[in-house]
Structure 1
Amino acid sequence: MSTSSLFSRGSWPEAERISRLLRRETVGGALLLAATVAALTWANSPISDSYFTLRELTFGPSALHLDLSVSTWAGDGLLAIFFFVAGLELKREFVAGDLRDPRRAALPVVAAAGGMIVPALVFTLVNLNTGDGALQGWAIPTATDIAFALAVLAVISTNLPTALRTFLLTLAVVDDLFAITIIALFFTAELSVLPLLAAMVPLALFGFLVQKRVRSWWLLLPLAFATWALVHASGVHATVAGVLLAFTVPVIRSQSAGGPDAGPGLAEHLEHRIRPISAGIAVPVFAFLAAGVAVGGLSGLSEALRDPVALGIVGGLVVGKTVGVTGATWLMARFTRVKLDPDLQWVDVFGLAILAGIGFTVSLLIGELAYGTESLRDDHVKVGVLAGSLLAGLLATIVLRARNRHYRRICAEEQRDDDHDGIPDVYEDHH
């Protein structure tokens, strides 16, 4: 974002990097969608008992208090990989990406904040008089699932301009940081200080090695696992360890050798290696183990959606996200000197805000933490998350498809390279 424009294109290196990243996330979104369909199909089949038995299978060393169920390993372990990648991406954006400029960083941060506060308020208002601990789930509709959102964009073949795609990604990454902060602060039931302090030792050793650009997995992996296990033992949700580990990894090669222009650091290498594991294995497996809910036909679906908790989630995802993201962006334009980019209109922001209402992975995780797994309310959470995400996806499809001809024109302009130097002309004009 320049001093005068919201949703400007930014720099060519950043646009090229984000384009590559989004292509990989789109594949992950397709796998996530397939895993969700498989889970729902199995959970509502004649052999559904075997699905729920699988989720409750327990394994792991009991001496380390890691004899956990398969579903817990997925939520605490596999999602730590997801948050490690999110942490790497977040640090890279703010250290070496376009968001190192505070003026450009302000928009996704403010929009993400609005997109979390308003859904939480919507959920709280709907469940104000519900009782029975319903308000514990206030944070469920606050998260955006970038992989699912990109899968929807791929299905509807929408040619979003670079600025909107970049905003969607950075919004989701900042959203993930807010989500992990909420999990750490509000869903830590009992805190054991000693294991948490002990976790700082392998974390510091991991940080020392990566700062020295050590890439040996046989050194880094045991230290990462030790950090994760000790954070898990402390009572803080183990996914927090993923973010803490990511924040120790250097983004640029040498701070003293020219700042962001000194070249990529170890973060880019680790992200390149681990993102496919996160998007292709960790998140789809978690979705497969978390999304399965026995709906019980139309009557069961109707009963679930009559629960104020499910209604609060749907309202938070569809209405809260849309109002929060659009409203926060409008406030940025209203009370600062920046204006919307001339190529875009407020309907584009509105459509993107609706798309941000696709909450899945982190929403399901927070639902499990709020109400416990295998409870009736947890089943209603899953129905609410699925219904809200589906409705948000359908509404976003209608709005964004209506603008697709305009998007195609912008994308064609962004790809023009009349001087054949490998850099689209609009980015050269920009500088």
Structure 2
Amino acid sequence: MTHPLVPVTLARGAYAEFLRVQGILRRESAGGILLLGAALAAMLAANLAPDFYVGLRDLHVGGSVLGIDLQLSIGHWAADGLLAVFFFLVGLELKHEFVVGDLRDPRTALVPVVAAVGGVAVPALIYTAFTIADPLARAGWAIPAATDIAFALAVLAVIGAHLPAALRTFLLTLAVADDLIAIAIIAFFYSRGLQTGYLALELVPVALFGLIAHRCQRFLLRHWWAPWLLLAPPAVAAWVICYASGVHSTVAGVLLAFVVPVRPPEGGDARAGLAEVLEHRIRPFSAGIAVPLFAFFSAGVALGGAQGFVDAVTSRIGLGVIVGLVAGKAIGITGATWLVTRLRHARLDPDLAWIDVFGLGVIGGIGFTVSLLVSELSFGQGSPRDDIGKVSILTASVLAALLASVVLGLRNRHYRKVELAEQVDDDADGTPDAFQPRP
């Protein structure tokens, strides 16, 4: 038994937090399945009807708004516009975790945050090592740095039904921290031609959005149509100005999310804050339409036959991405978790084993949505290097999913046997013993 004064890594969380995480897992898993279908459709379209696919992706629509040119290709609308919705949800989840979630406690946040840093740094270093001799290829150093939480959770839902709740919570909080790092990377390293005037002007619609969200929260919660009427105009203005500023426009979604109140208004009967309500209403659109459409217009790459595929995955970029995602993520996440555990003189939760942490590190190598975006930002959408990066991302994600299926599949069988061997009694409040605090 672990001594009560010894810190525990991946300890059991609160039961309420477990229920919230379970709900997110189910929603993200469904989104991962749609994402996979969109990626497969894109690959089929790009290889069976390449002229139609490229023509549709590169079709320009839009116009000029207040002197800002918004005539973009459909592919860019998907990457810049639809993904802003996805990043808005990421921002809401980040704020929830840091305000009322597990990450509000620095001691609890330390392990997943450090693990996320390791899971970003090691893949980036591996990629840089493979591309050190090619300055143009080095621009993609952040491609293997991101984990696609929807795909990862979809795989975990299939192979990890009996894995302990602490592992699932750890993967989600790790992904939240990973998303925060990815957002910072995109904002600071992949901005082009910064316009300081527009950057300053961006504060106006974001502040207006936050003012309305806080001052009118009760009204927004009471009427389903109110957020669309009151919050949509400053949100669109923030997106347009962010696009004009040179910062990738998806960052606007994060900034807007950060000013949404998480806690419900005082003195009212609302059980949830505006952030949770908006997340509940917008997530179906993001998971069911926005992200799959982005995947469809980004994942379509003409392989050029078996030889073209081999040439892509064995190139400097290809090896950097594949080794970075499959090996780098596993090494970075597991190594960082082990290191912070040792430095804190802590112990892994007695119900878990380090092979479980390694399995989560492997599943963290499933990179898709943000990795595809970073590939486009690094090399330009549709360029030969971008195609190589995307083929490598898809290949690495499949390899990581297969390897995780083996590692976590075996651990899932182990925990299933443990469940069958134990008799879990419910106490008076109906909460299983497995979620009670340790004595």
TM-score range, shorter chain: over 0.9
| Equivalent of 1:398 in 393, 403, 406 | 406
The verdict on how the C-alpha distance between 1:9 and 1:69 changes in structure 2, with shifts beyond 3 A counting, is same
| Equivalent of 1:297 in 305, 314, 324 | 305
- How many matched pairs? 424
**2:330 matched to which residue of 1?**
322
**2:54 matched to which residue of 1?**
52
**1:309 matched to which residue of 2?**
317
The verdict on how the C-alpha distance between 1:60 and 1:165 changes in structure 2, with shifts beyond 3 A counting, is same
**1:38 matched to which residue of 2?**
41
Q: Is the 8 A contact 2:160 2:408 kept in 1?
A: no
* TM-score of the two chains, using structure 1 as the length reference: 0.94
* 2: CA distance, partners of 1:2 / 1:83: 39
Q: Does 1:253 align with 2:264?
A: yes
**2:223 matched to which residue of 1?**
none
The verdict on how the C-alpha distance between 1:267 and 1:409 changes in structure 2, with shifts beyond 3 A counting, is farther
Q: Which amino acid aligns with 2:10?
A: F
SS in 2 for 1:310: helix
Gaps of 5+ in 1: none
CA offset at residue 194 of structure 1?
1.3
CA offset at residue 417 of structure 1?
5.1
CA offset at residue 2 of structure 1?
8.8
* 2: CA distance, partners of 1:53 / 1:92: 41
Deviation digits for residues 74-96 of structure 1 (CA, Å, limit 9, x no counterpart):
11111111111011111101110
Q: Which amino acid aligns with 2:210?
A: G
* 2: CA distance, partners of 1:277 / 1:421: 36
Q: Is the 8 A contact 2:159 2:412 kept in 1?
A: no
Q: Is the 8 A contact 1:414 1:426 kept in 2?
A: no
SS in 2 for 1:154: helix
Q: Does 1:81 align with 2:85?
A: yes
CA offset at residue 277 of structure 1?
1.3
The verdict on how the C-alpha distance between 1:389 and 1:99 changes in structure 2, with shifts beyond 3 A counting, is same
CA offset at residue 411 of structure 1?
6.2
Identity of aligned residues (%): 56
Q: Is the 8 A contact 2:12 2:166 kept in 1?
A: yes
- The correspondence of residues 379-394 of structure 1 with structure 2, limited to 5 A, is 379-394=387-402
Q: Which amino acid aligns with 1:66?
A: L
Q: Is the 8 A contact 2:7 2:344 kept in 1?
A: no
| Equivalent of 2:286 in 278, 281, 287 | 278
SS in 1 for 2:117: helix
| Equivalent of 1:362 in 340, 362, 370 | 370
Q: Is the 8 A contact 1:2 1:8 kept in 2?
A: no
CA offset at residue 237 of structure 1?
0.2
The verdict on how the C-alpha distance between 1:279 and 1:149 changes in structure 2, with shifts beyond 3 A counting, is same
Q: Is the 8 A contact 1:78 1:282 kept in 2?
A: yes
**1:199 matched to which residue of 2?**
202
Q: Which amino acid aligns with 1:54?
A: L
Q: Is the 8 A contact 2:163 2:411 kept in 1?
A: no
Deviation digits for residues 334-383 of structure 1 (CA, Å, limit 9, x no counterpart):
11132100011110011110000000100000000000011111100011
SS in 2 for 1:137: coil
Deviation digits for residues 81-140 of structure 1 (CA, Å, limit 9, x no counterpart):
111101111110111012211111111100000000000000000111134x11100000
Q: Which amino acid aligns with 1:55?
A: R
* TM-score of the two chains, using structure 2 as the length reference: 0.92
- The correspondence of residues 193-232 of structure 1 with structure 2, limited to 5 A, is 193-212=196-215, 213=217, 214-215=219-220, 216=226, 217-232=228-243
Structure 1 stretch displaced more, 304-313 or 1-10: 1-10
